[in-house]
Amino acid sequence: MRQSAAEAAESASAGGAASPRSPAPHGRFPGSFTALLPGFALAAAVAGASAAAEPASAALLAAALGRPFAVPAVVIALVLGVVLSGLARRPAFPPGLVFSVKKLLRWAVALLGLKVAIADVLGLGWGTALVVVLSMAVTLVSGIWLARLFGRSDAYGALAGGATAVCGASAALATATVLPDYENKEADVAFTVVVVNALSTLAMVAYPALAALLGFDDRTTGILLGATIHDVAQVVGAGYAVSDVAGNAGVVVKLFRVLLLLPVVVAVGWWFSARGGGTARASVPVPVFALAFLALVIVNSFGLLPGPVKATLVEASRWGLLIAIAALGLGTSPRTILNLGWRHMVVALGTTLVILATVTAALLVA
């Protein structure tokens, strides 16, 4: 999203939304802080409304369903953004939306490193770590293979595979930053975010029952949940609903997957860059934000930041991701998402089944 307001308005008239993908000349963001402010403020307002709506929707759904259930704020932000995408086509908004989806997103992903500690990962044991790494690799490759099988682009396959393999919406957004630009890229990212959140919620309900059916003990159940469920929040919900042992194991395994965001993003960037072709080359193979993520993992592992500072930065990461998601929605037309079709859904569902089958098989033979 590095185009000028005029360029964005032109592309919006062609594609139905302010497109955040076309780079401006020399890769610079248009205008000054005042030019970025309207779009950023709009995305921030959508993010704030979504954060406020999350507990209210949770209360309503819990009352209606008779059990705890919540729609994540990231999903609310994305859907609300898409609904308001017509407003975002006005020339004042694209520069700030570009900034949010490109720059702010990368800072927010980098700050996720403060949620991971090397000591926790080492406590997994080599056997569990190997299961996680192999299942993630198989899932990422299966995303591209399934995309080809169903006539989707390799880039969408990488989005679906990366989001499923690593950490849901955050991984989808991070992966998108190293993918080449192509038609309907924003719609693919938005679709991936919504679908992986929906599948993650279903997994939170279904996987504990599957683990019980298979006779797994609490620790093995936690490993299954942490290694297969897309988002951290759903791993927490599913794991601690079983027991503290399952919850603790699930969170550690899940954070190990988050740590592997760096090699996944770098591998995807290298692969697309090496292939070349298409409408644009992939981004720099080793993104600066990925290196910053690794540096912050080290900082967190050695406890180099005071607790309040760390808490503030983690919260800043949460809000940065939420604003970026809102900006992504604001740049995506509903019609474009609806035109994606059932094959997109099958690819995402397929990657979910692949990681579940791979991890389950490994745990059964271990």
pTM, two decimals, is 0.72
Of 56, 61, 69, give the one whose Cα is nearest residue 238. Answer: 69
Give the number of domains in the chain: 1
Contact 2, 29 (CB under 8 A): yes
User: So what's the pLDDT on residue 99?
Assistant: 92
Kindly state whether residue 61 falls inside one of the protein's structural domains: no
Residue 66 within a domain: no
What would the pLDDT profile of 220-272 be if each residue is shown by its tens digit? 999 999 999 988 778 877 888 888 888 888 888 988 898 898 899 989 989 99
> Per the domain annotation, does 357 fall within a domain?
yes
Domain for residue 135, yes or no? Answer: yes
144 occurs within a structural domain:
yes
**Residue 277 belongs to a domain:** yes
Q: Considering the domain boundaries, does residue 24 fall inside one?
A: no
Render pLDDT for 130-183 as a digit per residue (tens, 0 to 9): 999 999 999 999 999 999 999 999 999 999 999 999 988 889 988 998 898 888
Domain that holds residue 219: 105-365
64 versus 281: the higher-pLDDT residue is 64
